[in-house]
Amino acid sequence: MTFDWNWNTAWDVLPILLAAFLQVTLVVTVVSTAIAAVLGLIIAMLRRSVPKPVDAVLKFAVDFIRMTPIVVQLLLVFYTFTNLDAITCGIIVFGIHYSTYMAEVYRAGIDAVPAGQWEATTALSMPKGRTWSAVIIPQALRATVPALGNYAISMFKDTPFLIIIGLVELVQAGLVYGGNTFRYTEALTLVGIIFLAASYPTSLLIGRLEKRLAFSY
Amino acid sequence: MTENFDELAAAWPRILDGIWITLGLTGGGAALAMIVAVTLGLMARQPNVLVRGTARTIIEFFRGTSLVVQIMWLFYVLPLLGVDLDAMVVGILALGLNYGAYSAEVVRGSINSVQSGQWEASTALSMSSFHRMRRIIFPQAWALMIPSLTNLLIHLLKGSAIVSFIAIQDLTFHVDQLRLDTSTWFAYGLVGLGIYFIIAYILTLVMNTLEVRAKHRLGRGESLREMLSLKPPRTTAGTGEPA
Amino acid sequence: MPSATDNTPAIRFENVEKRFGDNVVLKDLNFSVAKGDRVTLIGPSGSGKTTILRLVMTLEELSDGYIFVDGDPLTYEKRDGKRVALKEKHRNEIRKRIGMVFQQFNLFPNMTVIENIIEAPVHVLGMSKADAKEKARGLLKQVGLADKADQHPLELSGGQQQRVAIARALAMDPDILLLDEVTSALDPEIVGEVLGVLRKIAETTDITMLIVTHEMQFAKDVSNRVLMFDGGRIVEEDTPEVIFSNPKHERTKKFLHAIV
């Protein structure tokens, strides 16, 4: 009934966990966030530029991806593209899944740019590309940074879903160790602590960033 | 192609069982999450440092450690401490605590967003703080929190797909079984994602209905009956179509 | 119960101070309002008038000093020479004698008009629902809104909402009514309907009123005393006749000149 904690076990498993954290969890989080950030912006811009019926199709696709489980999406991609290794598959699925969330963030950011800005670029006969790159995106992006950061944290906490396609990420590394040694307590508790230690300070940082960005307007 | 559907027809009773398990996890998790959310959300706005600190710690703990870690911890470590729970209970507990912590922030934020005039008017009428929360503030905060709670409910549904990790035979489990006899895209894409999408869509509709009702109670927007009727919508003076 | 022979003031401020951070809004303020008095507070914005009403309603915490309502300490009392905060339970008992009407109406949007009015009488005073409803209908009639009982507040115009708010405050049978710029959020053409209702209440009841308003004609008609505030202090106090036609203080003259 007591909380049976062995420090030797803890020191034994910690390097294994940290290795899985750095080699898989962190890699997927960082690369997928980058993909989601870029792809999300492309989706948001497309949705503003294409004719209504095309936008309706896009919206359905975005909703479909966003409202269905990553776990099943991972299975679908992993078993369909059998030449992809698990980590590449994970990066692609997480990147696409979260791009649908980020597209919404960008859309809100773009909508928040005052109509007068668009009118001014028209009045100055600025070309479309220049309007986006020099006027709209810089203004829209500022407000979206904290939201993107928060989605990066959510993605980080979703990475254990990768277990379903056989990747040994942080949680699976703990489970493997626990299965071999029957010491689940130390392994899984440390896994939780690593998650908390990585995500909590980051979310505090984003909270501060959010306040600073809000003030400087 | 037709073999796929034949296999689906054969597997359908099992898939239906899986759907019920998934719905049970989602419903049970959401109910627990709501209780957790209201309790922690209200505690987190108490002036007492101890009460507030406890709530904040619990909220940050469950938000900061991943859902999968929590479910694994409850499944593998809790029995070592002498607490042996049914897998289904573990699933509901993990989903409810995790999403309850997220929802607590929504509850707290929405309560704080109710206009200060409403708090002051209740005080001026000598209402007790419990009465004020129950009759005046919470009903108004409820309308504000529904959109965010809808998002979290969909997250919860999607998150429930990991329970096959702890040997619960939910929808994802049975879809995975179906794949052995059908093509990959059919099992995962059409059946798996399709059914999850339909469930998510229905849940969204239900929540939107709740939102319309809540807003109508506050005198904003049409009632559900008005929305569903074929009569032309109510117009407000001065906003008519130009002649 | 207030009576003509009872000399205890309805409200008494004793050495009241109110700070918001470093900003001193009220400084060493002493004044009292007799029972049945109608006192209007005038002065430039930021002079502390609204803060006085909010202190009486316990919506703000006193920084120093004491407020007495019918002789009873409201939020703080002297005990063995020390200033002691009174418990929420005590404050709530005293609060029941005070009603307030707000600039922004603050009706509860989740309740109909009549539910707004009976909520506190039923759940705070313990009145029966039937009695409260009957009383509410009487009050609605008094404010000219008998036909609006079952509507939602947001379906009403600003002037109508404010009249409901007045009825809601009166339903608690307050000894004291605080009116905080009750017409400031209204369009000019409907200010009159709200002031008309208040005039009638002033004529037909003996409720003590503490009024903050920019409507000088209303202040002249309703009040028997006017306090001119500036910088958190009373600069001049007199009958409305004197204040409005023959003010003695330079600051009062300037203020009245600026707003007319």
Q: What is the pLDDT of residues A93-152, one digit of tens each?
A: 999 999 999 999 999 888 888 888 888 888 888 888 888 888 888 888 887 888 888 899
DSSP H helical ranges for chain B: 2-43, 49-64, 67-72, 78-80, 87-113, 116-124, 129-131, 138-159, 171-179, 184, 194-217, 224-228
B140 contacts C102? CB cut-off 8 A: no
Q: Could you tell me the CA-to-CA distances from A162 to A123, A176, B75, B143, B178 in Å, in that order? A: 50, 14, 19, 36, 20
Of the listed ranges A99-103, A213-217, B168-172, C42-46, the least confidently predicted one is A213-217
B125 contacts C110? CB cut-off 8 A: no
pLDDT of amino acid A216 = 52
Q: Which CATH code is given to the segment(s) B2-228? A: 1.10.3720.10
Q: Are C215 and C244 in contact (CB under 8 A)?
A: no
Chain C residues 99-118 within an 8 A CB cutoff of chain B: 99-100, 102, 104-110
pLDDT of amino acid A3 = 65
Chains C and B touch (3+ CB pairs under 8 A): yes
Residue of A nearest to B61 (CA): A196
Q: Are B111 and B141 in contact (CB under 8 A)?
A: yes
d(CA C108, CA C110) in angstroms, rounded, equals 6
The residue with tokens 């619990």 is B58
**What pairs with residue C208 in β-bridges?**
C176
Mean pLDDT confidence for B177-205: 94
**Where do the domains of chain A lie?**
7-214
d(CA B35, CA B33) in angstroms, rounded, equals 6
Alpha-carbon Rg for chain A, nearest whole angstrom, is 21
pLDDT tier for residue B236 given thresholds of 50, 70 and 90:
very low
pLDDT of amino acid B242 = 36
**CATH number of this structure's domain A7-214, picked from the four choices 1.10.287.3510, 3.30.70.260, 1.10.3720.10, 3.40.120.10:** 1.10.3720.10
The pairing of strands C233-238 and C225-230 is: antiparallel
d(CA B167, CA B18) in angstroms, rounded, equals 12
Element (H, E) at C163: helix C158-170
**What pairs with residue C230 in β-bridges?**
C233
d(CA A18, CA A191) in angstroms, rounded, equals 9
Mean pLDDT confidence for A169-174: 92
Mean pLDDT confidence for B48-62: 95
Under 8 Å CB-to-CB from B45, ≥6 apart: which residues?
B52, B108, B111, B112
d(CA C15, CA B85) in angstroms, rounded, equals 64
Q: For the beta carbon of residue B36, count every other beta carbon within 10 angstroms.
A: 23
Q: What angle do CA C174, C230, C162 make, to 5 degrees?
A: 35
pLDDT of amino acid A217 = 45
Write the pLDDT tens digit of every residue in C204-258.
Answer: 999 999 999 989 989 998 999 999 999 888 999 999 999 998 898 999 999 988 8
The residue with tokens 């009241």 is C16
Q: Is the pLDDT of residue B37 over 90?
A: yes
The share of chain B scoring above pLDDT 90, in percent, equals 76
**Where do the domains of chain B lie?**
2-228
B126 contacts C57? CB cut-off 8 A: no
d(CA B169, CA C35) in angstroms, rounded, equals 75
B184 contacts A79? CB cut-off 8 A: yes
- On chain A, the residues whose CB falls within 8 A of the CB of B162 are 71, 160-161, 164
Q: Assess A81–B contact: CB distance below 8 Å, yes or no.
A: no
**Rounded to two decimals, what is the model's pTM?**
0.85
The residue with tokens 């998510």 is B200
pLDDT tier for residue A215 given thresholds of 50, 70 and 90:
low
A192 contacts B193? CB cut-off 8 A: no
Structure token digits, residue B129: 């703080």
B65 contacts A67? CB cut-off 8 A: no
- On chain C, the residues whose CB falls within 8 A of the CB of B219 are 109, 152-155
Question: For chain B, which residues lie within 8 Å of any Cβ of chain C, measuring from their own Cβ?
Answer: 115, 117-118, 120-121, 123-129, 131, 135-136, 139-140, 217-220
> Nearest CB to B121: which of C106, C152, C155?
C106
Binding partners of A (≥3 Cβ pairs within 8 A):
B
CA atoms within 13 A on the CB side of A125: 0
pLDDT of amino acid C140 = 96
Under 8 Å CB-to-CB from A209, ≥6 apart: which residues?
A145, A146, A149
d(CA C110, CA B107) in angstroms, rounded, equals 18
Using DSSP, state whether B73 is helix, strand or coil: helix
pLDDT of amino acid C260 = 66
Of the listed ranges A140-144, B57-61, B74-78, B79-83, the least confidently predicted one is A140-144
